[in-house]
Chain A
Amino acid sequence: MDIKENFANVIKANEGLIYKITMLYTDNKQDRKDLYQEIVYQLWKSFGSFSEQSKLSTWMYRVALNTAIFHLKQSKKRPDTIPFELEMDKLTDESDKAEEERIKLLYEHIQKLNLLEKGIILLFLEGKSHEEISEIVGISISNVGTKISRIKEKLKSQIKKNTDYGT
């Protein structure tokens, strides 16, 4: 299997991961497509130097999250987009309105967090261990625990505020 084929398989197996990151770091469909493309490109650029010293998912999260940060600054510059469809704005079936509402609310709350918190909570929700979060984010394992507790508190108060105002 050549490197390109290998890379395509890696991407195809992790499309969901990239998509979820684009959902958290953008607020419209076009930006989402641009960021998706940029992440795939940046992953390809460093794919050759991926040493397998770290887990594949650790490397992917790191590159994807780092790309998302810098994409914030550049989102007004439209790249030459490769045509592809990103038609997953409706993530639930028509019948499950409650779940759709819950996911929408979840994104709204996470998007209010600062960049570091946003990255940590994403990894937490993705079920990553404290050790892997520490490796991707670059903070100590004990600090990961502290940050997650703080973010939970912050989200709780955000949710409470939201419920109190009945929105």
Chain B
Amino acid sequence: MELEEMKQGWNAMSKRVEKQEILNQQIIEKMTQDQYQSNLKKIALPEFIGTIICYLGATYLSVNVPKLEEPLIQYFGVISIALLLILPIISLQSVRAMRKINLSSHTYLETIQIFGKQKIRFQKLQKLNVSLGLFLMVIGVPVLLAIKGISLDPTPLFWMLYFPIGIMFFLGFSYWTLKSYNKALKATEKMFTEVNE
């Protein structure tokens, strides 16, 4: 297939497409009214639910952590609260950045560049989010057990075995997850470089 044939194919398709009627007046009106919520501005349900869960968790810990006696667990508790407050902010930041884009004032190249930068930033934030989330899992468990009154002292295996295994699992999983994020990040950076060539 030669390029000229491609162009002929494109023209033939254009003629057929132009003959068809896709939208009528009513559908166009609906699309311009409130019945349609822009996909680009929509905060996905998982992000919204995740934020609520994190803030409920932070509230729960804020009420209970001051009651804990052991300084190390208290320290873990404070870090957990901070993480629960920070994680949703990181997630929602990319959505907020998306809202600022004006799709009619930028050229196609400028939009690709903005998109590329946002995607790279988003992927970096996701990496940070995953690492912090996993870290939260590790330090949150002793805090929750302490709040529930389950003492870890008579369980020597916890600090000797379970906790180190948890840390190793955390490091392994982080490595695996971050590797896949790095792959995605490299693909975006490659696309970005190609476009700017």
Contact = CB atoms under 8 A, between A and B. Distances in A.
Interface string A83-117: 01110100110000001001101100100001110
B22 A156 contact: no
A86 B21 CA distance: 9
B17 interface: yes
A62 B104 contact: yes
Interface of A: 4, 7-8, 11-12, 15-16, 19-20, 34, 36-38, 40-42, 44-46, 49-50, 59, 62-63, 65-67, 69-74, 76-80, 82, 84-86, 88, 91-92, 99, 102-103, 105-106, 109, 114-116, 119, 125-126, 135-139, 152, 155-156, 159, 162-163
Instruction: List 3 A-B pairs, minimum CB-CB distance, nearest first.
Output: A138-B107, A46-B104, A16-B17
Given A40-B28, A114-B191, A115-B191, A139 B39 contact: no
A38 B38 contact: yes
Interface stretch (B2-10, B51-59, B144-152, B170-178): B2-10
B157 interface: no
Contacts of B13: 20, 91-92, 103
B115 A139 contact: no
Nearest to B103: A66
Contact of B3 (A40, A138, A155): A155
Nearest to A80: B37
Contact of B111 (A12, A37, A44, A66): A66
Contact of B106 (A4, A41, A59, A66): A66
Interface string B23-44: 1010111111001111110101
A115 B38 contact: no
Interface string B65-106: 000000000000000000000000000000000100111101
Contacts of B98: 70, 73-74
6 contacts: A12-B28, A16-B18, A16-B20, A67-B40, A69-B115, A72-B115
Interface of B: 1-3, 5-10, 12-14, 16-18, 20-23, 25, 27-32, 35-40, 42, 44, 98, 101-104, 106-112, 115, 118-119, 122, 191, 194-195
B195 A114 contact: yes
A138 B115 contact: no
Question: Which of A45, A59, A74 has the most C-beta atoms of chain B within 10 angstroms of its own C-beta?
Answer: A74
Contacts of A66: 103-104, 106, 108, 111
Given A19-B17, A44-B31, A84-B27, A79 B107 contact: no
Contacts of B44: 76-77
